Amino acid sequence: ITVDDYEQAAKALLKALVIREKYSKLVYHRFPRTTILHSQLDAFCSCITRADVVTYLLAEMYPSPNKGVDPYSTEGIPEDLHYKLSLKDGVVHVYKDDEALQQEQPHSLPYPDLETFAIDLSHILAMIADGPTKTYCHRRLSFLGSKFSLHEMLNEMAELKELKSVSHRDFYNVRKVDTHIHAAACMNQKHLLSFIQSTYHNDAERVVLEKDNKKLTLKEVFAKLKKDPYDLTVDSLDVHAGRQTFHRFDKFNAKYNPVGASELREIYLKTDNYINGEYFASLIKEVACDLEESKYQFAEPRLSIYGRSMSEWKNLANWFIKQRMCSPNMRWMIQVPRIYDIFRVKNLIPNYAKLLENIFLPLFLATVNPQQHKELHVFLKYVTGFDSVDDESKHSDHVFSYKSPRPESWTTEENPPYSYYLYHMYANIMVLNNLRKQRGLNTFQFRPHCGEAGSITHLACAFLTADNISHGLKLKESPVLQYLYYLAQVPIAMSPLSNNSLFLEYSKNPLREFLRKGLCISLSTDDPMQFHYTKEALMEEYAIAAQLWKLSTCDLCEIARNSVLQSGLSHQEKKLFLGERYLWDGPDGNDIRLTNVAQIRMAYRLETLYNELSFLLDAINSARTEEMGAPVGPSGSELSACLC
Amino acid sequence: ITVDDYEQAAKALLKALVIREKYSKLVYHRFPRTTILHSQLDAFCSCITRADVVTYLLAEMYPSPNKGVDPYSTEGIPEDLHYKLSLKDGVVHVYKDDEALQQEQPHSLPYPDLETFAIDLSHILAMIADGPTKTYCHRRLSFLGSKFSLHEMLNEMAELKELKSVSHRDFYNVRKVDTHIHAAACMNQKHLLSFIQSTYHNDAERVVLEKDNKKLTLKEVFAKLKKDPYDLTVDSLDVHAGRQTFHRFDKFNAKYNPVGASELREIYLKTDNYINGEYFASLIKEVACDLEESKYQFAEPRLSIYGRSMSEWKNLANWFIKQRMCSPNMRWMIQVPRIYDIFRVKNLIPNYAKLLENIFLPLFLATVNPQQHKELHVFLKYVTGFDSVDDESKHSDHVFSYKSPRPESWTTEENPPYSYYLYHMYANIMVLNNLRKQRGLNTFQFRPHCGEAGSITHLACAFLTADNISHGLKLKESPVLQYLYYLAQVPIAMSPLSNNSLFLEYSKNPLREFLRKGLCISLSTDDPMQFHYTKEALMEEYAIAAQLWKLSTCDLCEIARNSVLQSGLSHQEKKLFLGERYLWDGPDGNDIRLTNVAQIRMAYRLETLYNELSFLLDAINSARTEEMGAPVGPSGSELSACLC
């Protein structure tokens, strides 16, 4: 690799980091202080000052529900701001009053417009295809892998010794968060089966479904299906993925229908049905109960908002509060399926903008005037983020660019591409977060499914827009993105058992390699109903990874620590679970008595990251020295201008 | 492959089957009726008549403890037979009275002498090295693998459909037996930890150990170890295997010492200690309780008899009865470690014969005169078999042959080889079983560890002497033995997670291939304390195999059915768990409502075995036709003479 190439690669990588930093800051996502400070990113980038760093890092300190207070209380709800709202170019705009609305003078809530985003994205895309940068990243990643092997050989026993000397704390009682799990599949198949049988036992005569204007009791539903629930088995329930679902996302989706009957999905796995989602709520609460009993396990189930109509949010919030869904061991997320095309074909919505309006406008309304949307206001306290979900391997004919049609003009029956979805969700969440921040309300993280299959552009897109992602398998195929995800320590919730049934055999899963190189990896179950066998799905996930990849206790506890970091648990909870100074990188930020991660490991990770960042700086500094004939600090205005 | 070679291979294989049949029959081991009848083994072998076949197959119908009766009752114990006993050439001989003893006229209890055994073994050994036979077996095995793939492609959905139509029965509620588990490691690490902590909480002042003539309380023991049990974690307990134990059986054995302290092993994991094994009993009973709760899971824990002294049996039986160890979900086995050398070096025994006497004479005494050995007599009702255990990869300088020294003359400090141990255990069990059969008492199966590591001669040896084996990994390396284990349907308890930590990486484990070819495979945990993470070790073992190898429900249920067949559960229990006619091969013997194994699968297995056996017969018949110019039935005297 020539000096020129090296310099070019370093510049490109630092620039990419600056871009992510900018995108993260605007939406109140997190960015590692080490990367900011040690790469002197603050010096390169006019938008960060050193003083900023600390406040910014603590920005995620959204309030967590207080103990002892009724979690569903509608007291002390903020006043109506009387703001006006209007969707423009697919993003909700906030106006002080009708006058401002008419004059099109929105509040100065930042969001990157489509052009800026498209240009920034194309920078990243150009860079991941750039030869010298690819070589550089590939080499650094190989080096990181070998370095970890060396670390392991030299320090494995020392790490173990450290862990042995920690009282009370071992892998079984460190906190673990299931960072990626869908509410509709959060129970295992046996659990669902028993639940169905018990409802039939107690509730056979209850009307549970309205179909074609006919009300059906549970008994009638099963009679229609020609099934006796007492005879059901996990085989006939048929919700488990298997060899048949490999590379068949459609078949996998069909597994959500117990006994292949969409009626049963409707009755048992939906929040908005004839019985007001009562069964679904009971099922989830049973899962929550098990988590609370385990004490050390947490989960972040995803509930669906589709964008078919504005009322979805109200219904979901009502369900949540009526069913009293709060659990200290659960934090909630909202998943939005990318299925505009289906709604469009059915003529449920006229264009893509309407989908966005249905998804986001209610949130803005509830933020501006919580008095009128009390349930949604309360529910949102427990929502920590958004997910974007669907089969990534689906191809889209449209190539996203600054010339892409505005959402209002997207009226075709074709589904927009992944990047288009991500940009619009990100932009709306950003405006919403800034508005909520101003009001002192909690903000949301964007945590899309990304890199499970399909194009690697998805990963470039999420590098800008996501706080953290689920899956990330495809990082295997792009050394540049993999290295960037490493440098920016973007958390990745991986689910190797899910992948094993859908997209990638277990033995080929890159998790082990990612972990060794130092990417921020956590383990999650995705869909226990479809993938797991035992009562403790998350432990099954950890156990299999530990066995197959011969992970050490320190490895496992590092993964568990990552999962808490990645999660939407509150600042207070993270302090409790990881240590007061968990926001500091390296040994300083690690309380081994809580995390059971060896300080040797923490030091290794921090030093290694330092080292990689220094390498980038060295490249730029030495280039400058050569050019200028004298050393110049990296805060030189020319450099920062060229990067910012 | 030429016709001559084919003929030679077929003859050799049939001869090997005849030999195993002979060895099995004598000791009341099982042999599949399909192989006997369809290979016309009865015609080849003067020792079987067709009428024999049925009685023989039911021979394993040993009485199971009756329900409602006190399991520890010493009532109705048979009378003293006043027989005399004497060890000769390492095998216990039974004499009618003193006169018979003096005249050396023992009861006619059959056992093969060392010469016969050595010659039969050398036949098998010669055969597994024979080129044409190797080629033949290798081809048949490849064919079996491909045939199964075809079966899978054609019938997978049909099998699944069959299973879906079965009411009430699925993988979760078919009976599964953990066919290979050591009592001293039958709890998981977390369970052991909690148990230690709870005993300390309740019993700190109790004297639990006598060492160097000093009595120590639990508190003093921990003080001496400089450990506070409240601070203990699974890390400091350090009983879990990991990367460090791979190919290090010595390190693995050391993991049986909690916190690396042999004192704790003595206190918690031994039956014969200062507290009369009370803690160990409580631990095992907690495991039994979990099994009983699960309802469908059973285990066959192994307890140790070392052969250091004659009193071991009495102590073990007393422990069993005093601690009331019976559980409907457990059947007991005795493991004998192959550690003559250790006892010899310490001068605890003068020769190998003494070891055998210590192990077997008490059993004969209790069989001849149960009145005087009431506890042992009662305990033996619940013992179903013997295991031979130790590191198979240890090399022995001695090569076993008919010239090997008799046990009385084996006085060196060198450990005898594996085959020597196996022969003597087998011979004694055979005499014992025949004696017990005459008295109407239950008999024992010999189920050694075999083929985990070391030489493949171990597997040849077990082919003659064992009812079934644990591990069998090394079958991978010998096509002839693998094919013979298939033809004779020798059950193999495999423990891929154990192997993964000790001898063979999971991905290289041959279990999947063995299963596909039709070998009789079951899944077992070996040592949950060392290998497993979750509360349900056996389910973890099944789950990992299912995930990694993408096993279908039918595969899993077939493995579970095999485990019940292989186990020492009684005839009555097997009828209850597998169906009235479980001894019949193929669909006729399968009650799908109990086993959840598709009839299509059962038919495939039976037809495939038929086919392989017919192939062997055809080779011999066509050879004879050529020679004689006219077809001759396989019962021709010449042929059976040449084979028997």
Q: Render B323-367 in DSSP notation, one character per residue.
A: TT---TTB-EEEEEE--HHHHHHTTS-SSHHHHHHHHHHHHHHHH
**CB-CB contact of A165 with B259 (8 Å):** no
Site from B547, B550, B556 to mutate, A interface, most A CB atoms within 10 angstroms: B547
Mean pLDDT of B133-162: 96
Phi, psi of B198 (to 5 degrees): -70, -35
Q: Which alpha helices (H) appear in A73-166, and where do they start and end?
A: 98-102, 114-128, 131-164
Evaluate if residue B60 carries a pLDDT over 70.
no
B156, B163, B540: residue with CB nearest A534: B540
Nearest neighbour of A547 by CB, restricted to B228, B535, B544? B544
Q: Compute the nearest-CA separation of B592 from chain A (Å).
A: 13
Measured between CB atoms, does B233 come within 8 Å of chain A? yes
What was the pLDDT predicted at B47? 64
CA distance A53 to B13: 78
Could you tell me how far CA B636 lies from the centroid of its own chain?
A: 37
Q: Which two tokens stand for residue A349?
A: 């919505």
Give me the percent of chain A exceeding a pLDDT of 90: 80
Please give the Cα distance from B42 to B47 (Å, whole number): 8
d(CA B620, CA B121): 23
CA distances to A127, A196, A216 from A228, rounded to whole Å, are 59, 11, 16
Residues of A in contact with B238 (CB under 8 A): 164
Cα B11 versus chain centre, distance: 29
Q: Is the pLDDT of residue A307 over 90?
A: yes
Minimum Cα–Cα distance from B174: chain A residue: A233
**Which H helix or E strand runs over A418?**
helix A418-439
ipTM of the complex: 0.90
Whether residues A166 and B548 touch (CB distance < 8 A) is answered with no
**What's the gap in Å between the CA of A167 and the closest CA on chain B?**
4
Instruction: Answer yes or no: is pLDDT of A635 > 50.
Output: no
Looking at residue B397, what is its pLDDT?
A: 87
Which pLDDT tens digit goes with each residue over B516-549? 999 999 999 999 999 999 999 999 999 999 999 9
The mean per-residue pLDDT over the stretch B270-291 comes to 97
Asked whether the beta carbons of B179 and B493 are under 8 A apart, the reply is yes
pLDDT given for residue B81 in this prediction: 93
**B581: contact with A, CB 8 A cutoff:** no
Q: What is the dihedral of CA A350, A356, A360, A362, to 10 degrees?
A: 0
State how far residue A263 is from chain B, nearest Cα, in angstroms.
Answer: 19
Instruction: Please enumerate, as own/partner, the contacts of A33-36 that have beta carbons within 8 Å and a separation of 24 or more.
Output: A33/A57, A33/A583, A33/A584, A33/A585, A34/A489, A34/A585, A34/A586, A34/A606, A34/A609, A34/A610, A34/A613, A35/A487, A35/A488, A35/A489, A35/A609, A35/A613
Determine the length of chain B.
Answer: 644
- The confidence score (pLDDT) of residue A636 equals 36
How many A-B residue pairs are in contact by the CB < 8 A criterion?
120
By CB neighbour count within 10 A (0-12 exposed, 13-18 middle, 19+ buried), where does A375 fall?
Answer: buried
Task: Determine the residue of chain A that is closest to B548 in CA distance.
Answer: A506
Min mean pLDDT across A322-326, B86-90, B214-218, B241-245 is at B241-245
- High-pLDDT (> 70) share of chain B, %: 93
Interchain proximity B542–A532, CB inside 8 Å: no
Question: What is the predicted pLDDT for the residue at A583?
Answer: 86
pLDDT in tens, A544-571: 999 999 999 999 999 999 999 999 999 8
A105 touches chain B (CB under 8 A): no
Give me the residue from A171, A234, A536 closest to B234, CB to CB: A171
Judged by a CB distance cut-off of 8 A, whether residue B168 touches chain A is: yes
CB contact under 8 A, A552 and B233: no
Rounded Cα distance, B196 and A269, in Å: 43
Decide if A233 and B543 are in contact by the 8 Å CB cutoff: no
- The answer, for A234 touching chain B at a CB cutoff of 8 Å, is yes
Interface test with B, best of A547, A554, A596 (most B CBs within 10 A): A547
Concatenate the DSSP letters of all residues of A176-218 into one string: EEEEEEEGGG-S-HHHHHHHHHHHHHHHTTSEEEEETTEEEEH
Residue type, position B152, single letter: E
Q: What angle do CA B536, B541, B543 make, to 5 degrees?
A: 90
Structure confidence at residue B65 (pLDDT): 56
Q: Do the Cβ atoms of A238 and B164 come within 8 Å?
A: yes
- Phi/psi of residue A128, each to 5°? -75, -10
- Provide the shortest C-alpha distance from residue A605 to chain B (in Å): 22
Known catalytic membership, residue B29: no
Chain A residues with CB inside 8 Å of B164's CB?
A: 233, 235-236, 238
Q: Are B547 and B587 in contact (CB under 8 A)?
A: no
Say whether pLDDT at B57 is over 80: no
Q: Is residue A553 within 8 angstroms of chain B, CB to CB?
A: yes
Two tokens at A100? 């401002």
Contact A553 B235 (CB under 8 A): yes
Cβ <8 Å between B534 and A543: yes
Task: Please indicate if any CB of chain B lies within 8 Å of the CB of A497.
Answer: yes
- Of B14, B121, B100, B50, residue with least CA distance to B423: B121
Nearest-CA distance B471 → chain A (Å)? 18
Q: What is the pLDDT of residues A83-129, one digit of tens each?
A: 999 999 999 999 999 999 999 888 888 878 899 999 999 999 999 99
pLDDT value, residue A112: 80
Residue B634's pLDDT is 40
Active site residues of A: 471
What pLDDT was estimated at residue A65? 56
Cα B516–chain centre separation: 22
Q: Which amino acid is at A217?
A: T
Contact A400, A115 (CB under 8 A): no
* Residues of chain B neighbouring A153 (CB-CB closer than 8 A): none
Q: Tell me which of B151, B180, B191, B471 is the catalytic residue.
A: B471
Cα A89 from Cα B207, distance rounded (Å): 80
Mean pLDDT of A520-535: 96
pLDDT number for residue B52: 61
* Residue type for position B475: L
Residue B462 near residue B485 (C-beta atoms within 8 A): no
pLDDT value of position A627: 62
Number of CB atoms found within 10 A of residue A152's CB: 16
Q: CB distance B170–A234 less than 8 Å?
A: yes
**CA A234 – CA A194 distance, rounded (Å):** 10
**Which of B165, B172, B226, B596 should we substitute to test contact with A (largest number of A Cβ atoms within 10 Å)?**
B172
Please tell me the least confidently modeled range out of A626-630, B163-167, B513-517, B562-566. Answer: A626-630
The answer to whether A152 and A493 have CB atoms below 8 angstroms apart is: no
CA distance B541 to chain A (A): 10
Give the number of other Cβ atoms within 10 Å of residue B257's Cβ: 17
Per-residue pLDDT at B354 exceeds 90: yes
Q: Nearest CA to CA, how far is B542 from chain A (Å)?
A: 9
pLDDT of A41 strictly over 90 = no
Distance from C-alpha of A532 to C-alpha of A192, rounded to nearest angstrom: 13
pLDDT at B464 over 80: yes
Residues in B touching A172 (Cβ below 8 Å): 190, 234
Question: To the nearest whole angstrom, how far is the Cα of A371 from the nearest Cα of chain B?
Answer: 48
B286 touches chain A (CB under 8 A): no
Q: Is B290 on the interface with A (CB under 8 A)?
A: no
Residues B499, B452: Cα–Cα separation, whole Å: 8
Residue B66 has a pLDDT of 61
Contact A170 B544 (CB under 8 A): no
